[in-house]
Amino acid sequence: MTGPLSFEFNGTPLDARSGQSLAAALTEAGERHFRDTDAGGARGIFCGMGVCQDCLVTIDGTPNQRACMTPVTPGMVVTRQAARPPLTAPPASPKQATKLTPEVLIIGGGAAGLEAGIAARAAGTKVLLLDERKVSGGQYFKQSALPDATPLDPQQADGAALVAKARQAGVEIQSGVEVWGAFDGPVIMASSATDVFAITPGKLIVATGAYERPAMIPGWTLPGVMTAGAAQTLWRSYRVPPGKRVAVFGNGPLNAQVALELCQGGAEIALLAEAAPAGWHRPISAAQMALRDPALAWKGAKMLSALSRHGVPVRWNTLPLEIAETSEGLRVRYAQRGKVSDVTVDAVCLNFGFQPQNEILRLLGAEMSYDARFDQLRPTRSAEMATSVADVYAIGDCCGLGGAPAAAVEGRIAGRAAVGGGPATAADEAELTRHRRFQDALWQVYAAEVPKVENAPPETLICRCEEVSYGTLSAALATGAEDIGAVKRATRIGMGRCQGRYCAPALAGILAHRHGRALEDLSYFAPRVPIKPVDIGTLVATEPLLDDSSGDG
């Protein structure tokens, strides 16, 4: 179906464009407040990718639906969700339960997963690729979900071509299927709106990408404050800017790219604030970056010049301090080399780096190591991208930030190795080394102090889900809670729906600093099944899959 479609939010009739997510349609209609919290707070879109669980609304009487992951359908009746919505009965028609046994299962349809699928298909192997989003392509290629949209730029056009190439190669791509469980075997549990699957693949390739690291400052949970990637998805996938007047704060090149894209999408960028000093203050790293990938370095330089042509004020060495809701909009106080200023906008974007989405790997028991430079856990891998778990490979940004070009090469290597095609070719190895060296120089250029939780005022929320403030956390630490488990039990930090994806790395850092321990001695909260929210109807439908007598799908 194409063209406008009508739905209702809190009794008001609204229009959406076919293919739009509910979050995008509500944003376009000027609605930002999607749910209330126990402590009287308001929440809206934050991550835009199904991770934070802050965009929950009630749809046709069923609570806890993620607006960012749900396409609008005609006649949908949506209400802002109360802090404690009433319990509802499981759906009358349970989901179809199916067992699948593909030779190769790939989780994630970004640059890494798609390239892995194409490489594995070259050997004629049956390859199933699952992606939770309605359109494949992942974060870099970020495809439009609107049926009639033409690609915005070469990045989006290249993504469309790669998805088409994977389909042509015979990769079976199932979109809108979310993996929520992983058990020894490996056995993978996944579900869509209509089906639930238990999948026992011959080989498993995990390509689940990354999510963004925010700045935990007062006001970071307010509606209208979101990650840079969420704002990018609103525009690139659904053609809705996050606001009319936007400020972008962060560290790394994604922020400049998003600022430019939103500008081109019609938003006024009131400020682009980067934590690092300007690249020309680090000429050696900048030159290394340019030598290692002249095309990408040139793209970055052109981006900054385009921002200047659009009149976007760019401030280097600048960090956000707090965000407050005022009658004029969201007022952000920020500091540039000690000088404090403010800017008032209707949307604030934050991105201070990335965290790998490695929950599936950790559930399967893959060996991980701590990368102190990027402050993240990475799986141990062989040159063929095999993890420490038999028949399980890991590629792309779920193994630590590497960028889309490196993710694509890792995909080719893993796809070939998984079907017995042998080790990486010399050409692939050389290309991967070049991309990794580029990333290394890039992050030397962008090296910066980012906002530290320890500097936050006590009222700052650290755990968005359970609304645990830094003050509450400090009080628990003062009573002697020394490890993550003890702090969790004392405060409920990390016990909410997002399973500690934002607060766990922050808490691990705080504990390491307080007790003078190396972060590698601390693990984050152990992931638990389900790693993504599933309703009781899905769990009930899973039951026949646990019975060996049910037939294969």
Ligand X SMILES: Cc1cc2nc3c(=O)[nH]c(=O)nc-3n(C[C@H](O)[C@H](O)[C@H](O)COP(=O)(O)OP(=O)(O)OC[C@H]3O[C@@H](n4cnc5c(N)ncnc54)[C@H](O)[C@@H]3O)c2cc1C
Contact footprint for ligand FES (CB under 6 A): 45-48, 50-55, 66, 68
Minimal distance, residue 513 CB to ligand X, in Å: 26
Cα–chain-centroid distance for residue 268? 25
Distance in angstroms (rounded) separating the CA atoms of residues 43 and 487: 25
Minimal distance, residue 515 CB to ligand X, in Å: 31
Residue of 188, 404, 487, 506 that binds ligand X (CB under 6 A): 404
Site string for ligand X, 218-247 (x = CB under 6 A): -----------x--x---------------
Per partner kind, with CB cut-offs from 5 to 8 A, the member of ligand FES, ligand X, none near residue 131 is ligand X
Which secondary structure element, helix H or strand E, spans residue 65, and what is its range? strand 62-66
Distance in angstroms (rounded) separating the CA atoms of residues 178 and 464: 23
- How distant, in Å, are the alpha carbons of 176, 193, 454 from that of 101? 19, 21, 48
Q: Beta-strand (E) ranges in 88-217?
A: 96-100, 104-107, 127-131, 172-175, 178-183, 187-191, 195-199, 203-206, 210-212
Per partner kind, with CB cut-offs from 5 to 8 A, the member of ligand X, ligand FES, none near residue 7 is none
Q: Is 532 in the site for ligand X (CB under 6 A)?
A: yes
Distance in angstroms (rounded) separating the CA atoms of residues 48 and 87: 26
Provide the token pair at 125: 């192997």
Provide the token pair at 506: 């922050």
Size of the site for ligand X (CB under 6 A): 34
HEC-encoded secondary structure of 149-162: CCCCCHHHHHHHHH
Q: Is 113 in the site for ligand X (CB under 6 A)?
A: yes
Site string for ligand X, 141-180 (x = CB under 6 A): -------------------------------------xx-
Per partner kind, with CB cut-offs from 5 to 8 A, the member of ligand FES, ligand X, none near residue 468 is none
Distance in angstroms (rounded) separating the CA atoms of residues 365 and 379: 10
CB of 197 or CB of 354, closer to ligand X: 354
- How distant, in Å, are the alpha carbons of 26, 52, 132, 161, 536 from that of 223? 12, 13, 24, 36, 29
Minimal distance, residue 461 CB to ligand FES, in Å: 15
CB of 78 or CB of 112, closer to ligand X: 112
Per partner kind, with CB cut-offs from 5 to 8 A, the member of ligand X, ligand FES, none near residue 19 is none
Q: Is 107 in the site for ligand X (CB under 6 A)?
A: yes
Minimal distance, residue 135 CB to ligand X, in Å: 9
Q: Beta-strand (E) ranges in 318-477?
A: 318-326, 329-336, 339-345, 347-351, 354-356, 368-371, 376-379, 392-394, 461-463, 468-469
Per partner kind, with CB cut-offs from 5 to 8 A, the member of ligand FES, ligand X, none near residue 79 is none
Angle, helices 503-515 vs 484-491, to 10°: value is 120
CB of 236 or CB of 282, closer to ligand FES: 236
CB of 211 or CB of 446, closer to ligand X: 211
Residues 246-265 that bind ligand X (CB under 6 A): 254, 257
Per partner kind, with CB cut-offs from 5 to 8 A, the member of ligand FES, ligand X, none near residue 256 is none
Which of 520, 534, 382 lies closest to 53, judged by CA?
A: 534
CB of 53 or CB of 387, closer to ligand FES: 53
Distance in angstroms (rounded) separating the CA atoms of residues 198 and 208: 18
Per partner kind, with CB cut-offs from 5 to 8 A, the member of ligand X, ligand FES, none near residue 55 is ligand FES
Stretch that binds ligand X, among 78-86, 206-214, 446-454, 535-543 (CB under 6 A): 206-214
CB of 166 or CB of 349, closer to ligand FES: 349
Are 25 and 59 within 8 A, CB to CB?
no
Q: Is 108 in the site for ligand X (CB under 6 A)?
A: yes
Per partner kind, with CB cut-offs from 5 to 8 A, the member of ligand FES, ligand X, none near residue 397 is ligand X
Provide the token pair at 113: 């997963």
Residue of 220, 334, 354, 438 that binds ligand X (CB under 6 A): 354
Provide the token pair at 232: 């990018």
Phi, psi of 21 (to 5 degrees): -75, 160
Residue number with the shortest CB distance to ligand FES?
A: 68
CB of 110 or CB of 494, closer to ligand X: 110
Which secondary structure element, helix H or strand E, spans residue 253, and what is its range? helix 253-264
Phi-psi label, residue 61: left if phi above 0, alpha if psi -120 to 50, beta otherwise: left
Per partner kind, with CB cut-offs from 5 to 8 A, the member of ligand X, ligand FES, none near residue 57 is none
List of residues 6+ apart from 384 with CB closer than 8 A: 393, 413, 414, 417, 423, 424
CA atoms within 13 A on the CB side of 479: 10
Minimal distance, residue 229 CB to ligand X, in Å: 2
**Radius of gyration of the chain, Cα coordinates, nearest whole angstrom:** 23
List of residues 6+ apart from 375 with CB closer than 8 A: 353, 505, 509, 519
Residues 474-503 that bind ligand X (CB under 6 A): none
Residue of 58, 139, 191, 472 that binds ligand X (CB under 6 A): 139
Provide the token pair at 403: 């960028």
Stretch that binds ligand X, among 28-36, 55-63, 85-93, 107-115 (CB under 6 A): 107-115
Site string for ligand X, 118-137 (x = CB under 6 A): ------------xxxx----
CB of 32 or CB of 435, closer to ligand X: 435
CB of 25 or CB of 52, closer to ligand FES: 52
CB of 130 or CB of 506, closer to ligand X: 130
Per partner kind, with CB cut-offs from 5 to 8 A, the member of ligand FES, ligand X, none near residue 54 is ligand FES
Residues at the contact surface with ligand X, assessed by CB under 6 A: 107-113, 130-133, 138-140, 178-179, 207-212, 229, 232, 254, 257, 354, 357, 396-397, 403-404, 407, 532
